[in-house]
Chains A and B, each alone.
Chain A
């Protein structure tokens, strides 16, 4: 049995996950908590939010995010990849700036129109 704190929402439920019993989750208040608990022990994932350079816009930085969670161990590789991106205005919120990064089905998308 492992104790984890759910990060899906601000409530922060204290979960217990039973690895010997099909990763059964207890202590969650919603189905997303059960999914988080299962994932967290087997293959933890995180959404990355950061910025990339942008030219031709009012400011020098464009906020971006991964459009779905990325394997946790690839967070710093993702940051390195973002260092190499320079966007050109105009950019629309949701626009894909890099597709299927690091051999995953995760895309980098703009989180602001600039």
Chain B
């Protein structure tokens, strides 16, 4: 089977990429999705707060996904559900397997990687203790509760204060569970401030910053956990132990872009994001292979995923239409002081764009500061003011083409606190 464009993943990134590529005239598109429906993780994110940037209104996850699924129905985009991609080759053959179609190879002119991310587990953070039932990643518990209709526990301790953990604290409480504590190893929360307020404070759930779980006890089911304070080196401080009698532990300890397929295709990866390195049009190191959404870098807001994936979809459509020339000048974007990573990592200076949106995260909480972009000669080419920045909130700057044309060599993005 031949397609111009094959999109791996039918979540928010895949849906937006498909719609954008269709709008730009690509008429041979296939989305491959492993779940039984489109929408990805949005289907289980039944809380509201999605779409404020993109739709200028507050939607739930299923509503946000539903709008893109409805739009897709008006196009001729093929959708393969319940289909697993086994391998993508460097020459863009996509090997898939499904109950309906068996084993198939889809040949594509362009591929968009939109596989999303998965949760870090207990094994990834090595919590000591026994191995009873009752330990879930927050997202797994969310799926059980919101899609399958199972309550996963009654007395809950949540490790990690990322947004999914906070949202699940509220959700479990509303459904009748007692959430005893939310425990965060860092001295600040990894989630949005609004979620601390509406998910923890509204229900008087204590948040223990600079604390972690140091023991899980229980034979068949979790019976209790031990929580200890940690020092600045993030090591537990002896003598600070607290015990919580609980039957459930939810883990919200980070997300990992799911890039097994990208790696097997031979895409060059960025150790800072755990995602592919991309150019300003979301193209990876393999021409014609693009990446967007949480497979590229973990986002806080789906609205930004939609916008990023639309750029990937448009670029993939242009790639399928052909007629591109090789770039003459590539600018590397490097991270300077306090900057953890940037996306894109590379900019083709001579391609057609008005401005490049550069996304990044700071490595520590910053007060009033300036984001400074310098070139290889140390000349400042742009600066942006911010009142406050936090690692939990992705930052975004726009670099107009006119400024990039003036830059010598590569760019460095750094943060200077006032």
User: With A63-B60, A112-B62 in contact, do A6 and B194 touch (Cβ < 8 Å)?
Assistant: yes
Chain A residues near B194: list those with CB within 8 A: 5-10, 12
A49 B47 Cβ-Cβ under 8 A: yes
Residues of A within 8 A of B48 (CB): 47, 49, 65
Q: Judge if A71 is at the interface, Cβ distance under 8 Å.
A: no
Contacts A50-B174, A59-B148; is A10 near B49 (CB within 8 Å)?
yes
Q: Are A51 and B52 in contact, CB atoms less than 8 angstroms apart?
A: no
Q: Per-position contact with A for B292-313: 1 when CB-CB < 8 Å, else 0?
A: 0000000011000000000000
Q: How far is the CA of A49 from the CA of B58 in the complex (A)?
A: 12
- Decide: B174 and A60 in contact? CB cutoff 8 A: no
Question: Which residue of B has the minimal Cβ distance to A51?
Answer: B146
Q: Which of A17-25, A72-80, A100-108 faces chain B?
A: A72-80
Is the beta-carbon distance between A12 and B192 smaller than 8 angstroms?
yes
Over the window 85-114 of chain A, the binary record of Cβ atoms lying under 8 Å from chain B Cβ atoms (1 yes, 0 no) is 000000001000000000000000001110
- Residue on B with the closest CB to A53? B149
**C-alpha gap A10/B304 in the complex (Å):** 12
The residues of B that contact A112 with a CB separation of less than 8 Å are: 43, 62-63, 66
Q: From known contacts A10-B300, A49-B60, A51-B46, infer whether A61 and B148 are also in contact, taking CB-CB under 8 Å.
A: yes
List the B side residues contacting A51 at CB < 8 Å.
Answer: 46, 145-146, 149
A63 touches B146 (CB 8 A): yes
Q: A26 interface residue, CB < 8 Å from B?
A: no
The complex places the Cα of A48 from the Cα of B202 at a distance, in Å, of 13
Are B198's CB and A49's CB within 8 A? no
Given known pairs A9-B52, A10-B301, A72-B202, the reply for A63 and B192 (CB within 8 Å) is no
Knowing A50-B46, A59-B148, A75-B174 touch, does A10 contact B60 (C-beta < 8 A)? no
Interface presence of B193 (CB below 8 A): yes
**In chain B between 170 and 195, which residues have their CB closer than 8 angstroms to a CB of chain A?**
174-176, 192-194
Interface size, A (range): 20 to 34
B interface, how many residues as a size bin? 20 to 34
In the complex, B147 has a CB within 8 A of chain A? yes
* Bound Cα distance A43, B405 (Å): 54
Q: Are B49 and A61 in contact (CB under 8 A)?
A: no
List, in ascending order, chain A residues with CB within 8 A of B145's CB: 51
Cross-chain contact A46 with B174 (CB below 8 angstroms): no
Which residue of chain B has the shortest Cβ distance to A47 in the bound complex? B48
Q: Cβ of B133 < 8 Å from any Cβ of A?
A: no
Q: How far is the CA of A63 from the CA of B146 in the complex (A)?
A: 7
B32-75 vs A, Cβ < 8 Å mask (1 yes, 0 no): 00001100000100111100100000111111001000000000
Q: Choose from A59, A76, A111 the contact partner of B63 (Cβ within 8 Å).
A: A111
How far apart are the CA atoms of A76 and B202 in the complex, in Å?
A: 12
Q: Is B197 an interface residue (CB 8 A)?
A: yes
Contact with B along A58-72 (1 / 0, CB 8 A): 111101010000001
List A contacts of B43 (CB < 8 A): 112
A79 to B58, CA, bound (A): 21
Rounded to whole angstroms, the CA-CA distance of A51 and B198 in the bound complex is: 19
Contact with A along B108-149 (1 / 0, CB 8 A): 000000000000000000000000000000000000011111
Q: Could you tell me the distance between the alpha carbons of A48 and B194 in the complex, rounded to whole angstroms?
A: 15
**Which residues of chain B come closer than 8 Å to A111, judged between CB atoms?**
46, 59-60, 62-63
Contact B174 A5 (CB under 8 A): no
Q: Which residue of B lies closest to A60 (CB)?
A: B149
Q: Which residue of B lies closest to A66 (CB)?
A: B48
B 334-347 to A, binary, CB cutoff 8 A, 1 in contact else 0:
00000000000000
Residue from B61, B62, B66, B148 having most chain A Cβ neighbours under 10 A: B62
Q: Tell me the complex Cα distance, A48–B325, Å.
A: 53
The CA of A57 and the CA of B301, in the complex, are separated in Å by 29
Question: Which chain A residue shows the least CB distance to B67?
Answer: A93
Residues of the A chain whose Cβ atoms lie less than 8 Å from the Cβ of B146: 51, 61, 63
**A75, closest chain B residue (CB):** B174
Q: How many Å lie between the Cα of A53 and that of B146 in the bound state? A: 10
Instruction: Give 1 or 0 for each of A14-55: 1 = CB within 8 Å of chain B CB.
Output: 000000000000000000000000000000001111110100
Q: Are B52 and A10 in contact (CB under 8 A)?
A: yes
Additional pairs, 7, CB under 8 Å, beyond known A112-B62, A112-B66: A5-B193, A12-B193, A59-B148, A63-B62, A65-B48, A65-B60, A93-B62
Residues of B at under 8 Å CB distance from A?
Answer: 36-37, 43, 46-49, 52, 58-63, 66, 145-149, 174-176, 192-194, 196-198, 202, 300-301, 393
A-B pairs with lowest CB-CB distance, top 4:
A12-B193, A112-B62, A63-B46, A7-B194
11 inter-chain pairs at a CB distance below 8 angstroms, sorted by A residue, are A4-B197, A7-B198, A9-B194, A10-B194, A51-B146, A58-B37, A61-B147, A76-B174, A93-B63, A112-B43, A113-B66
